[in-house]
Structure 1
Amino acid sequence: MNDTANGSTLGNKTALRRELKRRRRTLSLYQQKQAATNLCQRLKQLPEIRRAKRISLYLPVNGEIDPTRLLPWLRQRKVSIYLPVLRPFSVNRLWFVAYREATPMVKNRFGIAEPCPRFAADKRNRLPAWALDTLIVPLVGFDKQANRMGMGGGFYDRSLAFMRQPGPTPTLIGVAHACQQVDALPIEPWDIPLDVVASDTMIVRPIKTG
């Protein structure tokens, strides 16, 4: 499953994104569940997860690997959990809103469950991204340098653009199925780099230079 994309495909991000999304959708329900279990076992070992007190994760759709098996473990450890929510009156930006067992949920325009607008609009239920310890973000693809391909909307890149400036920043952990790995991904100037990628079979960290 861990076959790589060729050069011509890498030159066409749309085609590559389509192919990687197809790969994850072809996984059986059993494979999806097993991958989620293996992923969460790996995530629990990461120091960036173990020391975090405020974590954002996501609710999976369309074959995305499922990080929600972490929820009981995180709640047992008294970790505050947040979800990305489409920010109203803003172009492709996110809020990070508290996710508790009693949080009222609705589906957004992409069919993804998120805290309802009234709950999300209450500032007491939100946290600025810089105040999070760790973000677990979904990937369409990743490579051996922990470069990331997202859905193409730029939601995370816009919402985390502050990370290019001095100041507090969260740890970014991308997660995906192992079949979503390719040899190399094109890097855009606006891409916010990941600190680590976790899949159901491996942990990938970027090689530090300088």
Structure 2
Amino acid sequence: MHGNSPKTLRQDLLKQRKEFATGNHYTAAEMGLITGLNHFLAHEGKSIRSIALYWPIQNEIDLRPTLSSWVKKGAYRRLALPYARPDKHLDFFEWQEGDALVPSAHGVPEPDPNNASRPPINPDCILIPCVGWSSSVVNGKSHYWRLGYGGGYFDRTLADLRKKNPKLVCVGIGFDWQKLDDAQWEAQTHDEPLDLLLTESGLFS
């Protein structure tokens, strides 16, 4: 059972993810998730030119090798990493393997916003890691929600980016066991929904 507060819930889930990453089922789950990502890229990737990924921390799945391979297989494809602004919004800057990064205030490697050779990007697709996730059905359609680290960066950023680009695709990245029920956590009015959710079981829309 989880505690009543979102903070306690996050702590419990992060502890579980650390234990899961050293367990017997992690490798199979990782392979299943990467297979699902490759399937998504093979189909949706034809219309996507830029993908914002994340630098993996705290036992998150590492998508960098798969996405770097995707970039090399098509012209004009680009990857981007988030940069956390002081106002708790994210900007995205182009990233290539081998780039020098700088640590954020939270210790997460980020692109240098002053690097003129790596311009800002408004991505077509954003891959967002989940600490936990939930689903709901409204008017017969499934909606997926992300429990993150509590800073609200992605929610603020997605709200802005979706106004500029209604076709933006936001994909949550998580594991099956991270699914939460309403007794554990419910999305709030300020939470931005995910367009898709990818776990080791496949892609959910």
TM over 0.5: yes
Does the CA contact (< 8 Å) of 1:136 and 1:174 recur in 2? yes
Does the CA contact (< 8 Å) of 1:84 and 1:96 recur in 2? yes
Could you tell me the percent identity over the aligned residues? 26
Determine the structure 1 residue equivalent to 2:131: 140
CA RMSD of aligned residues (A): 2.4
Change (3 A) 1:117 1:181: same
Q: Which has the higher helix share?
A: 1
Change (3 A) 1:201 1:69: farther
Task: Structure 1: state its 5+ residue gaps.
Answer: 206-210
Q: CA deviation at 1:126?
A: 0.6
Q: Deviations over 1:120-166 (max 9, x none)?
A: xx4961113xxx21100011111233211111000111112225647
- Separation (CA, whole Å) in 1 of partners of 2:127 and 2:45: 9
Aligned pairs for 1:1-210 (under 5 A) are: 9=3, 11-29=4-22, 31-46=25-40, 47-78=43-74, 79-87=77-85, 90-119=86-115, 122=116, 125-128=119-122, 132-145=123-136, 146-163=144-161, 165=163, 167-184=165-182, 185-205=185-205
Task: Structure 2: state its 5+ residue gaps.
Answer: 137-143
Determine the structure 2 residue equivalent to 1:208: none
Change (3 A) 1:178 1:73: same
Q: Which has the higher strand share?
A: 2
Q: CA deviation at 1:36?
A: 2.9
Q: 1:81 is matched by which residue type in structure 2?
A: L
Q: Give the count of matched residue pairs.
A: 191
Q: CA deviation at 1:105?
A: 1.5
Does the CA contact (< 8 Å) of 1:83 and 1:97 recur in 2? yes
Q: CA deviation at 1:189?
A: 1.3
- Separation (CA, whole Å) in 1 of partners of 2:159 and 2:12: 28
